[in-house]
Structure 1
């Protein structure tokens, strides 16, 4: 079902039309095979990059698309409606470009951003560790400074695109306490860097998630982004944008589940009429549609605040919370609408349900989002 979008410009409408065309041709036709086989979609991100879809919210002067965030997020939603794993990896790539684009020097931007934003190199975001997920200030992976640069030692975890990415926004300890964390732009290949076996996940099978082991790998001094000790500020400001990306992905996934349920309900008959015409089922579908529309409205409100330069951290947490909880419920209800068929792999709704669960967890669990929101209320 085509979403009736209110886009700000004709250029944005054309961009969304292009996105749908690419998503239908390149994503929808490949998703079932790659997710079932747990195989990486070789060449797909180069295709998205060549179409300009990997650098949309960044400035044109460095190769970006200079699009408002509200437009970029709707592009992510369209991608997620066809293939959630690819949309999430696209969002993570944008998140990985953020430190250089926002905190890098002009020289660093000129050196690295054009290739990043064109999608010629794809990024990963390396913040979490085995014992430091939501508590980012507890990072233990350390970068010791010497005459040649930074020697990185330790383990990072839960890296989307781990082992496949060309670069990583890497957060490491360079000092003590919460002000002792710094951001480095790490290459995807370095002597002393190795990756663990991809995690055996419930969903999002086509894009690997791994640990990274740093064994004294040397990174040049000019790979420090921002100042030493500024890492948490960089990480948290990036995550506000990243949470909106996940909210958009969750909304696209929920929309796909709703579309599948509506299509089935219009075709399946019981007791002499379509099941969509049974009030109990029709009301369930109505609640699913309301949840999807509400999720979309919530992330767009936060994005428009971001585009206006207004504070949006609380709204980003609300959007991530609302959209991912909605995705979990809508995908679960879609399985219910299809009944026994929904529990089989003959229909995609069982995959949608598995994929929705992780969206309540990464980019800050929904319990963390509630904590963020409640703290803003305590300061009111």
Structure 2
């Protein structure tokens, strides 16, 4: 079987990191995954251990509390975790890509000093409040508003599907809001940092989701929320451009997560195909099962090459928007297809929630929706080809 870190594009340091996180996933995350899934609770003790491993600080320089690695390293960690538990993987992926990265890229020196040390160490989590009932991919439809009142911003509105927004260690939420409109009524979008626990910020009950039961996801209501004027993140009116960059980067790590899910399904199905005997021989000896596993491997390999290509372009300062969409599209479909095939190989056992494959089957659908639906990725790719969409 093709090794998941065999690419010659990886350094020895990156291979070692991938192996370290893989062992952590197998030894710490996997044994507890079913229990936390049934409890529908984010295990902050595991998040703390991930912080001790330096995972939340991987792509950030040491001077802000990071590990001085790169985006490829973050993606390797996300993929290794997603093999056994997508919820834990997305907590890292969203915590870094949507939580920490906007503050690192666009924050003032004071904002970075205030928030980054706890976030990059995993002692705290940050969230990104973009999506609304009528606004997500269409961010221009944002209805949340923020107005200046002296030395404060006053924010009113609501957000939904916000990851890491209601954990015991959530420290800050970046909220996108309309801060003005031009003469034609087009919104000026800005990003504002809202500390957890700010009066007027209400974190709603967690969603009853099909999958990702361990991942923390809530709706938010902002009713007259007041924060200091210096909590504006980046330039006023640059919120749209800034969140597009965050989403483009996030899609690469999301693709690595989906690749890890596809890899996990392959590993579980391959193991079971060797153990399960019917009519005197292992089911893996049947050509249909063997060919199914071969297709699963092909999907994993293609997905991994896609996210690695996009991540390397990002790391080397090259355009990567279309490549990120290709990676997310390819890996999300690979995860869904491998979850379906693995569940079929397991038969009735693949329908039991205690089985990793069954949880991947539930979890993987969101990989075709979150951080830009399949249709949005097709739109981005079509535009890159010079086609109207």
TM-score with structure 1 setting the length:
0.96
State the SS of the aligned residue for 1:29. helix
State the SS of the aligned residue for 1:70. helix
1:337 aligns with 2:342: no
1:15 aligns with 2:17: yes
Partner of 1:270: 278
Partner of 2:180: 175
| Structure-1 separation of matches of 2:269 and 2:16 | 28
1:3 aligns with 2:9: no
Partner of 2:196: 188
By how many angstroms is 1:194 displaced?
Answer: 0.6
Partner of 2:208: 200
| Structure-2 separation of matches of 1:219 and 1:285 | 54
By how many angstroms is 1:240 displaced?
Answer: 0.7
For the 8 Å contact 2:201–2:223, the answer to whether it is kept is yes
- The partner residue of 1:111 within 111, 114, 128 is 114
| Structure-2 separation of matches of 1:212 and 1:300 | 34
By how many angstroms is 1:179 displaced?
Answer: 5.1
| Structure-1 separation of matches of 2:10 and 2:283 | 38
| Structure-1 separation of matches of 2:92 and 2:146 | 28
- The partner residue of 1:67 within 69, 90, 94 is 69
By how many angstroms is 1:344 displaced?
Answer: 2.4
- The partner residue of 2:171 within 143, 166, 183 is 166
Partner of 1:317: 325
For the 8 Å contact 1:178–1:232, the answer to whether it is kept is no
By how many angstroms is 1:137 displaced?
Answer: 1.3
Equivalent residues in 2 for 1:221-232, closer than 5 Å:
221-232=229-240
Pairs aligned (count): 380
Query: In terms of mean alpha carbon deviation, does 152-161 or 344-353 score higher?
Result: 344-353
- The partner residue of 2:373 within 337, 358, 365 is 365
1:82 aligns with 2:84: yes
Calculate the aligned-residue CA RMSD, in Å.
1.6
Partner of 1:134: 137
State the SS of the aligned residue for 2:225. strand
By how many angstroms is 1:43 displaced?
Answer: 2.1
| Structure-1 separation of matches of 2:23 and 2:286 | 35
For the 8 Å contact 2:178–2:187, the answer to whether it is kept is no
TM-score with structure 2 setting the length:
0.94
By how many angstroms is 1:107 displaced?
Answer: 3.1
1:291 aligns with 2:299: yes
For the 8 Å contact 2:158–2:220, the answer to whether it is kept is yes
Equivalent residues in 2 for 1:244-259, closer than 5 Å:
244-259=252-267
By how many angstroms is 1:4 displaced?
Answer: 4.0
Unpaired segments of 5 or more residues in structure 2? none
Unpaired segments of 5 or more residues in structure 1? none
For the 8 Å contact 2:14–2:73, the answer to whether it is kept is yes
